[in-house]
Amino acid sequence: MEFRKLKAEEIDVRVQSAKANGVILLLYKDARCDMNILDETIGCMNWERKHEVIDGRLYCTVSLYDERTNRWVSKQDVGTESNTEKEKGQASDSFKRACFNWGIGRELYTSPFIWVDSKKANIVQRGNSYACNDKFKVKSISYKNNAICQLTIVTDKGKEVFNFGKSNKEYEEQVKTENTIDIGDVYSLGTEIGYNTVQLTNMILKKYDKTPQQLSQLEIETIYRGLSKRKSQK
């Protein structure tokens, strides 16, 4: 069973943390997105969800009916509490995690590190901490080799605050003889050989003391060559 990739309008954006000089954003999906894709892909009568408490933690099991074998196939995961509505938050989170196990929205794990400078965000200080008053959304997103290769994020008023990589169309239009490597290629190759985006981002920050978007073309190509070498040694 294979599920399609999430569309831009199906992906939500939230602030993970806010500092005086900027904010870190995260991509996520909600439970309605999972339900819609399940209905769309296999039909509303061919899947089910069950919740149960194990050792004091709420688990969700999502089962799909396999018409080839005439049996139900299940995958399970556990939820975490939300800041509001504890039980509802756990139920929703466990369901979304179980759907990740089925592959729905798994591409979100390949998201680049999303940093928005304070010049582009409305950041306010509240006591000893900071908060962001902006709302964000995904304007466009593209995938290559099951990883995010292009991502544009804007505020709810349409102001662009983050732009990463190239769209599939741009990749296709790129002249092959140029062989230009960009940061999207680095993340795609890294995913192929077993790294996740957090690991790759931390490697870049540690080595260059820069975010991925701040790297020069030479630095990007150097990282890519290093990953290619590791791939050939596997």
Q: Which domains does the chain have, with CATH numbers?
A: 8-29+106-228 (no CATH), 31-101 (3.30.160)
| Residue 188: per-residue pLDDT | 86
| Residue 175: per-residue pLDDT | 39
Task: Tell me how many degrees the CA angle 40-6-60 measures, rounded to the nearest 5.
Answer: 70
> Token pair of 72, please?
């139900």
Phi/psi of residue 100, nearest 5 degrees: -60, -40
| Residue 182: per-residue pLDDT | 82
| Residue 181: per-residue pLDDT | 80
| Residue 176: per-residue pLDDT | 43
Share of the chain above pLDDT 90, in %: 62
What are the tens digits of pLDDT across the range 86-100? 667 889 999 999 999
DSSP string, 28-93: E--HHHHHHHHHHHH-TTSEEEEEEEETTEEEEEEEEEETTTTEEEEEEEE----SSSHHHHHHHH
Closest CA to 150 of 119, 133, 171: 171
Q: Using 70 as the pLDDT threshold, list the residues of the chain that sit under it.
A: 82-87, 166-179, 234
